Amino acid sequence: MEACKVLQKDIMKLTNYESHIADTFIMNMCCTEKFSNAGISFYKFLQNCYKPSIITTERFLSLYNYKNGPITEAEREYVLQVYKELRQEYKTLSGNLAEACITALCKVGEWEESIEIINTFEKEDTSEFLILGYSALIKCLLDQGNIELMFKYLIICCQKSSGLQHYVCSAYLKYCLKDKQTFNTNVEKLFSLWSKCGNVASIDTINEFIDTCNQLGWTAQITNIRSSVCMACRQKLSGPSLTEEDFNILSHSLLEKLFIDRQYQNTVPAELNNFMKFIQATKPYDVVLDVLNILCMRPQNKEYNKDALFRILEYFKKQNKKVLAIGRHHLRSLPFIQAAAKKATFFFVENVSNDDPFMLYASLTSGKNTIIVSRDFMRQHRYALHDGHLSTLFKKWQYTQQYICVLGKNGTVKLTEVHRCQSDLNYYFNSGAQKHGNSWHIPFSTTGLTKLDNVGHGNWACFRIGT
Task: Identify the domain boundary among 169, 199, 229.
Answer: 199
Mark whether 181 and 251 lie in a shared domain: no
CATH number, domain with residue 46? 1.25.40
Q: Which of 136-140, 210-214, 431-435 has the lowest mean pLDDT?
A: 431-435
DSSP of 273-284, one letter per residue?
HHHHHHHHHH--
The pLDDT of 178-186, averaged and rounded, is 96
Mark whether 104 and 191 lie in a shared domain: yes
The rounded distance, in Å, linking the Cα atoms of 160 and 387 is 5
> Which pLDDT band holds residue 457 (cuts at 50, 70, 90)?
low
> Which pLDDT band holds residue 381 (cuts at 50, 70, 90)?
low
* Terminal-residue alpha carbon distance, the chain: 58
Q: Which of 138-147, 235-244, 443-452 has the lowest mean pLDDT?
A: 443-452
Nearest to 118 by CA among 201, 141, 128: 128
Beta bridge partners of 119: none
Mark whether 158 and 298 lie in a shared domain: no
The pLDDT of 350-356, averaged and rounded, is 70
Nearest to 327 by CA among 345, 315, 311: 345
Highest mean pLDDT out of 92-96, 126-130, 304-308: 92-96
pLDDT on residue 391: 81
Mark whether 42 and 141 lie in a shared domain: yes
The pLDDT of 128-143, averaged and rounded, is 95
The single-letter code of the amino acid at 381 is H
The single-letter code of the amino acid at 447 is T
Mark whether 175 and 313 lie in a shared domain: no
Mark whether 255 and 192 lie in a shared domain: no
Question: Does 281 map to a domain?
Answer: yes
pLDDT on residue 240: 76
pLDDT on residue 1: 65
Question: Does 406 map to a domain?
Answer: yes
Question: Does 215 map to a domain?
Answer: no
Q: Which of 38-42, 72-76, 243-247, 421-425 has the lowest mean pLDDT?
A: 421-425
> Which pLDDT band holds residue 300 (cuts at 50, 70, 90)?
low
CA distances from 165 to 40, 153, 172, 405 (A): 24, 13, 11, 40
Mark whether 172 and 259 lie in a shared domain: no
pLDDT in tens, 324-334: 999 888 888 78
Question: Of all helices (H) and strands (E), which one includes residue 322?
Answer: none
The pairing of strands 450-451 and 199-202 is antiparallel
Specify the long-range contacts of residues 142-151, CB closer than 8 Å, at least 24 apart.
142/171, 142/172, 142/174, 142/175, 143/171, 144/109, 144/111, 146/111, 147/175, 151/189
Mark whether 120 and 265 lie in a shared domain: no
Is the model's pLDDT at 455 over the cut of 50?
no
The rounded distance, in Å, linking the Cα atoms of 442 and 338 is 51
pLDDT in tens, 39-67: 999 999 989 999 999 999 999 999 999 99
**405 vs 249: which has the higher pLDDT:** 249
Question: Does 98 map to a domain?
Answer: yes
Question: Does 233 map to a domain?
Answer: no
Task: Identify the domain boundary among 400, 420, 440.
Answer: 420
pLDDT on residue 201: 92
The single-letter code of the amino acid at 318 is K
> Which pLDDT band holds residue 425 (cuts at 50, 70, 90)?
very low
pLDDT on residue 302: 61
Question: Does 457 map to a domain?
Answer: no
Nearest to 374 by CA among 394, 355, 392, 351: 355
Task: Identify the domain boundary among 168, 199, 230.
Answer: 199
CATH number, domain with residue 347? 3.40.50.11980
The pLDDT of 213-235, averaged and rounded, is 93
Mark whether 170 and 21 lie in a shared domain: yes
The pLDDT of 83-104, averaged and rounded, is 96
> Which pLDDT band holds residue 89 (cuts at 50, 70, 90)?
very high
Is the model's pLDDT at 343 over the cut of 50?
yes
The single-letter code of the amino acid at 134 is Y
> Which pLDDT band holds residue 261 (cuts at 50, 70, 90)?
low
Contact predicate 306/336, CB 8 Å: yes
The pLDDT of 357-366, averaged and rounded, is 92
Nearest to 10 by CA among 19, 127, 1: 19
The three-state secondary structure class of 375 is: coil
The pLDDT of 148-156, averaged and rounded, is 97
Range of the domain at 59: 1-199
- 407 CB-near residues (< 8 Å, 6+ apart): 297, 299, 305, 308, 413
Is the model's pLDDT at 338 over the cut of 90?
no
Contact predicate 385/366, CB 8 Å: no
Contact predicate 382/391, CB 8 Å: yes
Orientation of helix 54-62 relative to helix 95-107, angle to 10°: 40
The pLDDT of 70-76, averaged and rounded, is 94
CA distances from 428 to 9, 15, 73, 234, 392 (A): 57, 52, 52, 15, 13
Is the model's pLDDT at 424 over the cut of 60?
no
Is the model's pLDDT at 117 over the cut of 50?
yes
User: Percentage of the chain with pLDDT > 70?
Assistant: 87
Question: Does 379 map to a domain?
Answer: yes
Q: What is the average pLDDT score of the chain?
A: 86
The rounded distance, in Å, linking the Cα atoms of 337 and 309 is 10
The pLDDT of 130-159, averaged and rounded, is 96
Highest mean pLDDT out of 82-86, 267-271, 399-403, 407-411: 82-86
Question: Of all helices (H) and strands (E), which one includes residue 141?
Answer: helix 131-144
pLDDT on residue 380: 66
Task: Compute the residue count for the chain.
Answer: 467
The rounded distance, in Å, linking the Cα atoms of 225 and 441 is 10
Number of domains the chain is built from? 2
pLDDT on residue 429: 52
pLDDT on residue 321: 94
Is the model's pLDDT at 16 over the cut of 90?
no
The three-state secondary structure class of 161 is: coil
pLDDT on residue 423: 45
Mark whether 179 and 248 lie in a shared domain: no
Mark whether 7 and 116 lie in a shared domain: yes
Radius of gyration of the chain (CA): 28
Question: Does 460 map to a domain?
Answer: no
Mark whether 66 and 169 lie in a shared domain: yes
Q: Cβ–Cβ contacts within 10 Å for residue 177, how many?
A: 14
